[in-house]
Structure 1
Amino acid sequence: MERKLLLTLIAVLVLSIALAGAVWLASPQREWVRLGAGKAGVDPNIAAAPAPVPQATPTPWQTARAAIRKLGRDLGFGHASYYGPGLAGGQTASGERFDPRKLTAAHRTLPLGSRVRVTNTRTGRSVVVRINDRGPFIAGRVIDLSTAAARRIGMLASGTARVRMQLLV
């Protein structure tokens, strides 16, 4: 009985292999076509499309500039204060030393290096400053100006002023 079962299993295995080979041999042979060889109707005079250029991840500066463009150049109104001369020589967020004689300012979110026109709404005087630091960190204030910038727009005596800010891109 065991011998009969073994012979049956061998016969089934042989038939399976034979059937698989027959199916494989009966399948239609496919012709491989190389593109550009004229067989597929490709014009050899047409240049291949250039490979797509991978898009670089935007820098924080590019992202901020794109967001500002969406909002427009007008940054709105707010209250400005200015750095006292006692902070001269201290390091700013940009890495440079604070110089109260330069037209610089601190802003919480604008990219370092941005240029902003700051206009005192009471006097109508304006100044263009470069953002080189972070701040102000006092509630209700939107920008900290250097002493020179504060002098130009006439806010030294009061210490603070309502200003309008415009980004210069």
Structure 2
Amino acid sequence: MIRLVAIASSLILLHGCATSRYQHDTDFTPAPIADIKAIEDPVPVSEPRSSMGNPSRYRVLGKDYSVMEDATGFSETGIASWYGMKFHGHDTSNGEVFDVYKMTAAHKTLPLPSYVRVTRSDTGQSVVVRVNDRGPFHDGRIIDLSYAAAVKLDMHNSGTAPVQIEVLKAPLPDSVLWIQAGALSNLDNAKRFQQELETIRAEVGAGDWTVGIHSTENNEKSIHRVRIGPVPEPEIAPLIDALKQNGITQTVILSQHQLER
């Protein structure tokens, strides 16, 4: 059930240009970047597979795509494009927020997130980007870059460029999730609940997940959310069963990008 919900959500978030969820009808160029050297390439790391944006198959504009199970060693040659302010501030396919000034990209079939080196075939210029979105859904294009990445490759004026892409780090096989076990207005009660969950954790012999409290202020009211995680996706169902056996039934499953919301 968890995976089915994630897949359904990810299909909604695929950023095909035919959708109407954006505040602008057409894409347009962001404000110029004053110092492009100040925007650093991301450092490739082995992240968990995103719980959203990785359906085994999906369809956009009448065409089916299959997401790779493992992209280790994958490379591809073709045309790169870039996407801008129409999509700025909107969710990417894995639920993160797209920022034209970050070094990210969209690909149709790479597992999310993947770290990719993009090298211009004609000039040799190269950047590293973190793939967290789906696209481009135009024939002949293999990757859609953020505006920042396009500027670094000096292709923001031409719009496209011939490139070779090479996967540096593919995500780990399993995604990780968090379980929100409760949201309380009193911090002392939240701390007591946290201790209760720690006791349950010891009883079930859990792995590396921890119990934390995420506190926020809204209209002068404090909310203290007690959360368990990160939990590998295969361990979610047994953990929820253990919580239910201890009378904790009002749980909410969260992806990584939802933790600060």
**Corresponding residue SS for 1:87:** coil
The aligned counterpart of 2:69 is 64
Contact 1:123–1:154, Cα closer than 8 Å, also in 2: no
Once the two structures are TM-superposed, the CA of residue 116 in structure 1 deviates from its matched residue by 0.3
Once the two structures are TM-superposed, the CA of residue 85 in structure 1 deviates from its matched residue by 2.4
**Corresponding residue SS for 1:86:** coil
Mapping for residues 103-114 of structure 1, pairs under 5 Å: 103-114=103-114
Q: Which runs of 5+ in 2 are unaligned?
A: 1-50, 57-67, 170-261
- State the TM-score, normalized to the length of structure 2: 0.38
- Structure 1 residue runs of 4 or more that deviate by more than 3 Å after TM superposition: none
Amino acid paired to 1:142: I
Distance in 2, Cα, partners of 1:122 & 1:76: 15
The aligned counterpart of 1:82 is 82
Please identify which structure carries the higher strand content: 2
Q: Which runs of 5+ in 1 are unaligned?
A: 1-58
Please identify which structure carries the higher helix content: 1
**Corresponding residue SS for 1:149:** helix
Distance in 2, Cα, partners of 1:103 & 1:85: 15
Larger Rg: 1
Distance in 2, Cα, partners of 1:78 & 1:116: 14
Distance in 1, Cα, partners of 2:131 & 2:75: 14
Identity percentage of aligned residues: 51
Distance in 2, Cα, partners of 1:141 & 1:98: 20
Amino acid paired to 1:158: S
Question: Does residue 138 of structure 1 match 2:138?
Answer: yes
Distance in 1, Cα, partners of 2:87 & 2:111: 22
The aligned counterpart of 1:155 is 155
Distance in 2, Cα, partners of 1:160 & 1:140: 11
Mapping for residues 116-127 of structure 1, pairs under 5 Å: 116-127=116-127
**Corresponding residue SS for 1:64:** coil
RMSD, aligned CA: 1.9
- State the TM-score, normalized to the length of structure 1: 0.58
Once the two structures are TM-superposed, the CA of residue 81 in structure 1 deviates from its matched residue by 0.3
